[in-house]
Amino acid sequence: MLKLTVSGPPGSGTSTLVKGLCHKTGWTSANGGDIFRDHARKRGLTVEEFSSLCRENLDVDRALDVALKSLMTDHSGPEVVESRLSGWWAEGLSIDIPRLHISTTLEERGKRLMQRDGGSYKDNLDRATRRHIDDSHRYMELYGIDLNDMTPYTHIIEADDMGESEVLETVLEILGVEF
């Protein structure tokens, strides 16, 4: 049964947080980014190319979102759902749980993506910027959601100056979990 949603832009540390959280609690999770990347890979596309395809063919994105919403309402589903819109979906579905947003600047995301994926800082910053623009346009067109609107989130964690363990400790405190 769903206990938490985690949202944030690519490179903000949401996947790292969820991995640590599940390790500490024994919870299971579903990752919207993994689903997105798997679908891109199956089509032989990069994440950026798939993001562009989703912008051109909104039904692709809608199908991914329907699958996530279904997981969120399944009583035997994961305890944690991580995706860009999971907080929005939980609020819309009236699921009364903590809805976290991990916030980072584009510059910090460029650094983190470079550490995770390799390549130059400039290329990763450009990638993060393009993805943010594509996602912002797509979610506004699909659902009227402004990614800068933090209204559905119960907790916003500004993570630019926080390490992995600090973010995890903050979330465990929010959840009231001993660590």
Q: What's the CA gap between 22 and 10, in Å, rounded?
A: 19
On the CB side of 100, CA atoms within 13 Å amount to 26
CA 142 to chain centre: 17
117: nearest Cα among 3, 2, 15, 4: 15
Predicted pLDDT of residue 178 = 75
Predicted pLDDT of residue 41 = 92
CA 138 to chain centre: 15
Q: What's the CA gap between 127 and 122, in Å, rounded?
A: 8
Residue 158 to residues 101, 168, 170, Cα–Cα distance (Å):
9, 13, 11
Tokens of 39: 């679908």
Average pLDDT per block of 10 residues along the chain, 179 residues long: 94 94 96 84 89 81 87 95 96 97 94 93 92 88 94 97 96 88
Domains and CATH numbers, the chain: 4-104+150-175 (3.40.50.300)
Contact 142, 130 (CB under 8 A): no
Predicted pLDDT of residue 179 = 63
